[in-house]
Amino acid sequence: MYPRPTDLRSEETQEMSDGELYWVIKNGVRWSGMPAFGKPGDDDEHAWKMVAYVRHLPKLTPAEEQKVLTHTEEPMDHGEAPHDHSH
């Protein structure tokens, strides 16, 4: 993928304010693989939980890291009726 995805554990990312991380999560990064998450007017709780998660990434224990890697192999639940991803 180009540009390369940002390492969310990096010093550059971790130096961003919570508000900056929130903005990136809600709006995405144009011309990259980072989509926007959430819709205008939706509950912001999920976005703020993602900010907290990004803050925790550099401190992941080996067990937590393994759990994350295991869950990334599972299909994502979009909270919608089942649908085909071959659009």
Provide mean pLDDT across the span 56-63. 93
Q: Would you say residue 81 has pLDDT above 60?
A: no
In a domain, 79, yes or no: no
Q: What is the number of domains present in the chain? A: 1
Residues above pLDDT 70, as percent of the chain: 80
Provide mean pLDDT across the span 69-78. 64
Q: Would you say residue 18 has pLDDT above 50?
A: yes
Q: Which amino acid is at 10?
A: S
In a domain, 49, yes or no: yes
In a domain, 80, yes or no: no
In a domain, 28, yes or no: yes
- Dist. CA 46–CA 85, nearest whole Å: 23
Q: Would you say residue 20 has pLDDT above 90?
A: yes
Q: Which domain holds residue 29?
A: 1-59
Rg over alpha carbons for the chain, rounded to the nearest Å, is: 14
Return the pLDDT at 87: 44
For the chain, what is the mean pLDDT?
81
In a domain, 34, yes or no: yes
In a domain, 87, yes or no: no
